[in-house]
Structure 1
Amino acid sequence: MDAEKFKKYDRVGVIALIRRGEKFLVIQRSESVRAPLTWCFPGGGIENGETEEQALVREILEELGFCVTPLERIYESETPWNVYLYWWTAAVSDEELSRLHISPKEVKSVEWMTLDELRTHPDTLESNLSALDILREKIFD
């Protein structure tokens, strides 16, 4: 983890891109978190001393109740609210996925959406919208 990023940004986080065919697992954020009720890829903050991979596994377990295997960091971005994000592809087995149990304090709902569905959804989180073209290029090309 680049310690300089922790100094420069208010927060450093990881995003999980969990894919089944053309669809990705996305969450609707709960009413009690920043950007309430928006739709986005799951993820969260990296804690001090944690690797990106450890943070990814922890955040998905906390929010969705199952374990993922981080595969590859494919993108990095900055949000308008001074957060630096590492975007990771992640794998999950069917057995793990069957353990899906959302944390209501962080997640209101879970859906599988294509990138186009996420792009046209009226409540998609802005930082996710700006990344969709790059994600499509890195994942599907």
Structure 2
Amino acid sequence: MRDQREAIVAVLRRGERVLVIKRGPQAARPGYWAPLSGKLEPGETQEEALVREVREEVGLDVSPLRKVWECPTDDGHFRLHWWTAESGTGEVVPDPGEVAEARWVTPGEFLAMEPVFDGDREFFERVLPEL
């Protein structure tokens, strides 16, 4: 198996809700509901990648808080580093290529959405309630 690449997942919360997106036509695996995520660029820290990806995909300025989990993607190509971040009160402005739709959802609402990735389901079921 080739080396795993590194990617971040942004867990943006407002109250009990988390920002999730429906992946747009230019994203890998379009149509899946998932938290914001993206690859680390060479020389970039996880925190820098988190700030950049969120800004690019939904136009929000965020402050990374802490890494809360990590897991491989279901295809094994990436190691995902899950970070919570403070999102402030800005308006979500989706990048139409990357994001077909964005919603602030409760964990229960997310778990009822289809399709979602197994790792995301595990995070919402097992990790998020402990945060």
TM-score by length of 1: 0.85
Task: Name the structure 2 match of 1:76.
Answer: 70
What is the aligned-residue identity percentage?
33
Higher share in helix? 1
Q: CA deviation at 1:133?
A: 2.4
**Structure 2: 5+ residue runs without aligned partners?**
none
C-alpha RMSD of matched pairs (Å): 1.4
Render the CA deviation track for 1:27-60: whole Å, top value 9, x for unaligned. Answer: 1101232211111000200111000000000000
More strand by share: 2
- The runs of 5 or more residues in structure 1 that have no matched partner are 1-6
Q: TM-score, normalised to structure 2's length?
A: 0.91
- Partner residue, 1:66: 60
* Pairing 1:31-46 to 2, within 5 Å after superposition: 31-46=25-40
CA distance in 2, matches of 1:73, 1:13: 12
Q: 1:14 aligns with which of 8, 32, 35?
A: 8
Structure 1 counterpart of 2:49 = 55
Equivalent of residue 122 in structure 1, options 108, 111, 114 = 114
